[in-house]
Amino acid sequence: MKIIKTAGALGGAVIALASQQAFAQSSVTLYGVADVSVRYLTNTNASNDNRLYMTNGAVTNSRWGVKGSEDLGGGLKAIFRLESGVNLQDGSFADTGRMFNRAAYVGLDSKYGTVTLGRQKTPLFDILADVYDPLTVGNYFENAWLPVALGAGLYADNAIKYSGTFSGLSVEAMYSFGTNYESTGAGGFSGQIPGHMGAGNMYGLTVSYVMGPVSVAAGAQQNSDNSNHKQTVFNANMVYAFSTARVYIGYLHSKDDTGFVDSVLAQQNLVPGVDILKGSGRKDDGPFAGVTWQATPALALTGAAYYDHMNDAAIGGGQLGSGNRYTLVALAEYALSKRTEVYGTIDFNKVSGAADVELPGRDNQTGIAIGLRTIF
């Protein structure tokens, strides 16, 4: 009996030890960003009234998420991520139509790269947010309109993505069976239509390379709406890193037959199907540049400029025209700790020609904000 009991106890110990080892090979992390700001914005409506209000962060949207991995052996890991944007000013979801608007995917990671399936950032969003946009794609629409509009939403549903890095060369490729961006009307993308394999899909590819202080990248992306109209985007970027500073130069080109760009940018209530026309062939050329400087261990300064020259853009009454828009942004961030900072920012927008419909009132708009961000 003692032998049986000892064997049973030993078996239980082995099972417990194996379970502990299994758990030790897995990890689940709760993380997030809490970022809120007080913002003053001029010419916020057709009457050119100014506004003082609380809103989400200037550069990073507040979010919470859960991510995890499991070691499957042989250098292979299973990974997942669920991430949701939130508005600290009122506690609401950033996207009321879905819980995990920023990420909802599962995948496999190995030395040959990572494959993920679900809702996730496009390759274009990855390179801009991680490296090549001086504001890492700003969070206010007034400082993020260029990559948001020409990047066609920056997220994709129903997507398969591959990413891999090999001796300084990084490659990302994505195919979406059916995108579903949060715009409506003529500019909305929705899922695939049965019998129409090309409708509603999206594909994108980016390639980047690091050579000492210089990083370069290029890519292309195409989105189709459910009537098979397309938006095609090309981009090229470069960053040069000094000891405490980085200089950014980038370019985005878009040709849009879906009405997405007109729908996203127009703030003067253009009507889809009447003013915003599919098949218009709107073209945008958007160079941008910037510099970041770590002035002290606690103080970081950023300056950025964005420009867009547009042709065949909707101007109302079913008419198309050409125009220009530029934006200047200055940002100062002061770290209170490794995870918490205060910041101040100012941005200025100016439009002319067909771009007049992109501001609600006068042809210019100025925003000033101060904010507090902590990362957990």
Q: What is the pLDDT of residues 33-50, one digit of tens each?
A: 999 999 999 999 999 999
- DSSP E strands in the chain: the ranges are 26-41, 51-56, 63-73, 76-87, 92-93, 103-110, 113-121, 155-166, 169-176, 202-211, 214-224, 230-241, 245-256, 282-294, 299-316, 319-335, 340-353, 364-375
Give the mean model confidence (pLDDT) for residues 204-231: 93
Residue 68 is encoded by which pair of tokens? 């995890």
Q: What is the per-residue pLDDT across 48-72, written as a single tens digit (0 to 9) for each?
A: 999 999 999 998 999 999 999 999 9
- Phi, psi (degrees; rounded to nearest 5) at 240: -115, 125
Q: What is the per-residue pLDDT across 358-372, written as a single tens digit (0 to 9) for each?
A: 999 999 999 999 999
| Separation of alpha carbons 369 and 86, rounded Å | 19
Q: List b or e across 130-163, with b for residues whose CB sees 16 or more CB atoms inside 10 angstroms.
A: ebbbbbbbbbbebbbbbbbbbbbbbbbbbbbbbb
**Is residue 299 scored above 80 in pLDDT?**
yes
| Separation of alpha carbons 179 and 226, rounded Å | 9
pTM of the model: 0.88
Which structural domains are found in the chain, ordered by start? 26-375 (2.40.160.10)
Yes or no: say if 113 and 75 are a contact pair by the CB < 8 Å rule: no
Residue 293 is encoded by which pair of tokens? 């400087």
| Separation of alpha carbons 324 and 99, rounded Å | 37
Which of 15-19, 34-38, 206-210, 357-361 is predicted least confidently?
A: 15-19
Spatial neighbors of 359 by CB under 8 A, at least 6 apart, are 43, 267, 349, 351, 365
pLDDT band at 192 (very low <50, low <70, confident <90, very high): low
Give the mean model confidence (pLDDT) for residues 313-329: 95
